[in-house]
Amino acid sequence: MTKIDDLKVKMFADGADLESIKELSKKSYIQGFTTNPSLMKKGGIVDYKKFVIDMLNIVKDKPVSFEVFSDEINEMENQAREIASWGKNIYVKIPITNSKGTKTYNLVEKLSNDGIKCNVTAILLIEQVKEIYQASNPKTDIIISIFAGRIADTGVDPISTMREAVNLCKNKKKIQILWASCRELINIMQADSAGSHIITVPHQILKKIDGVGKDLGQLSLETVKTFLSDAVSAGYKIKTNK
């Protein structure tokens, strides 16, 4: 059975809860962190910069990705440069387009040429990967985040897309392909088998990590015991003829 130590793919924790981040930062198998405005809103974050600084005080030596939130390309650039100035371990998340569908690869090229590490996000198409591949400076670290989970939500197997992206970008060693929108633990193994460099895993899914490699026979028995215990504690009874 697969064990966490056997995997080559790097796991980044995806969330906005500082207490969870503090605990996860102590785990050797967590090699980075990501968040986004939706997760921050869900987590009740109201002061963007304060949250970033608080998080950086916890995560000092692992990569952390924070996202711009302007819909205007020029302001995206301003925000990206400001966010990048807050810490050396920051990757700035840039969406592949704005909400109007305007592409951001020119912005990514400009930031990459200036040595700003980008995490280009919301990618679902191999054509988008090609655009960022062309735009990236070979001397600057960059992450290409492919939303494999959202591809799968449409009924399409994302593994071929991930493999194609890894192969496409292999000549630029500073590019890392990231499996985003992880839905379940098996996605970690799928990302690993596809050659993905990174997978982002939500905090809730990381709570199940101890189950990786568990004996299925033992798990079957534990499941039966749980059903029995719940039925007894609920006081369920069925009258039979015997």
Per the annotation, the verdict on 88 as an active-site residue is: no
Q: What is the pLDDT of residue 5?
A: 80
The pLDDT tens digits for 77-90 are: 999 999 999 999 99
pTM of the model: 0.92
Q: What is the pLDDT of residue 2?
A: 66
What 8-state DSSP symbol labels residue 184? S
Q: What is the band of 20 on the pLDDT scale with cuts at 50, 70, 90?
A: very high
Q: Per CATH, the architecture of 4-210 is what?
A: Alpha-Beta Barrel (3.20)
Asked if 148 contacts 178 with a C-beta cutoff of 8 angstroms, the reply is no
CB < 8 Å & 24+ apart, contacts of 82-89:
83/52, 84/111, 84/116, 84/117, 86/49, 86/52, 86/53, 86/56, 87/52, 87/56, 89/56, 89/59, 89/60, 89/61, 89/62, 89/63, 89/64
Query: What are the structural domain ranges in the chain?
Result: 4-210
The pLDDT tens digits for 163-221 are: 999 999 999 999 999 999 999 999 999 999 999 999 999 999 999 988 888 889 999 99
Catalytic member of 10, 22, 41, 93: 93
Task: Give how far Cα 176 sits from Cα of 20, 70, 87, 108, 236, Å.
Answer: 25, 25, 20, 15, 54
The pLDDT tens digits for 25-76 are: 999 999 999 999 999 999 999 999 999 999 999 999 999 999 999 999 999 9
% of the chain with per-residue pLDDT over 90: 93
The whole-chain average pLDDT of the chain stands at 96
Cα 5 to its chain centre, rounded Å, is 19
Q: What is the pLDDT of residue 4?
A: 82
Beta pairing partners, 162: none
Concatenate the DSSP letters of all residues of 3-39 into one string. Answer: -GGG--SEEEEE---HHHHHHHTT-TTEEEEE--HHH
Number of alpha carbons in the 13 Å side-chain half-sphere of residue 60: 2
Asked if 69 contacts 83 with a C-beta cutoff of 8 angstroms, the reply is no
